[in-house]
Amino acid sequence: MSSGFEKKLAEISNIPRPKNYLAKASRIVIKVGTSNLTEEDSKISEKKIERLVNEIMALRKEGREVFLVTSGAIVSGLGLLGLRSRPRQMPFLQAAASIGQSILMKTYAEYFSKHNQIIAQLLLTKEDFMDAQRHQNLKNTLEALVTWGVLPIVNENDAVAVDEIRFGDNDNLAALLSISVKADLLVLLSDVDGIYTNDPNISSNSKPLRTLTGVTPELEAIAGGAHRGSGGLITKLEAAKVTLGAGIPLAIVNGENPHVIHDLLKGEPVGTLFVPQKLVRDIE
């Protein structure tokens, strides 16, 4: 990648973060991908789930409302079956998801119960957002759960949602959910420290893009060379387009870093934050 290209990328991210807005964000959607829930052996890590639960509960104690979008059902199912490799055939992936979802929720329930936090499971597909009546029913249910102080945990219904298993790792679902609940912020927990001008593992001159106001052709060019698997950069940029269009900021942060969400809300330069234009005008 040329130095001129990298320079242009660095220039478009040279804006301050809306610290006041982030500090006051009261309704947050957090999406956690499979990589942030598993160990190197691809098995679900209770230690990582406990760390995530603790950070969410710290947000709750601050008076913030949290909606959790989680992946991990397929991996949970494969682990119980003793399968080391991920099947390629869709029916087997769907079967693994149907087995693993209950295990995943049981693990979440165990750690949230230590904080006396009640949780609710919602398994959704794109049709739940596209159909007007189903979408309204969904919004009504979510608001009722929040009224009761229950923490909604959302996953795509992998047993029937073929496209969602292959693409996105819930990035797009999280974006749609953020709009439905009128969230103040969407946080995508990843295994990278945000977006860079180039692959930091390859280029020593790679620079982090900390704050962006949109998805540009330059960013899409980076995504074109990134991992195209489930949950790659491409789907995160697609999610950013969706939330920015609705005026909702989106952050990509490294979920392996302790307290990264709190650092983000304090306005610290962690990850990559996409800021809608309306907030850029209000930045002091």
* pLDDT at residue 236 tops 90: yes
**DSSP assignments along 163-187, one per residue:** HHHHTTTTHHHHHHHHHHTT-SEEE
* pLDDT at residue 26 tops 90: yes
Torsion of CA 38, 125, 213, 232, to 10 degrees: 40
- How far apart CA 231 and CA 96 sit, in angstroms, is 18
Number of domains in the chain: 1
Q: What is the pLDDT of residue 163?
A: 63
Q: Tell me the residue range of the domain where 63 lies.
A: 3-280
The pair of structure tokens assigned to 49 is 């789930």
Q: Which residue matches tokens 């390629």? A: 88
Torsion of CA 81, 87, 89, 95, to 10 degrees: 30
Identify the band that residue 11 occupies on the pLDDT scale cut at 50, 70 and 90: low
pLDDT digits (tens, 9 = 90+) for 52-73: 999 999 999 999 999 999 999 9
pTM: 0.92
pLDDT digits (tens, 9 = 90+) for 99-117: 999 999 999 999 999 999 9
- How far apart CA 108 and CA 262 sit, in angstroms, is 21
Question: What is the CATH number for 49?
Answer: 3.40.1160.10
pLDDT digits (tens, 9 = 90+) for 142-163: 999 999 999 999 999 988 876 6
Over residues 185-209, mean pLDDT:
84
Q: What is the pLDDT of residue 227?
A: 43
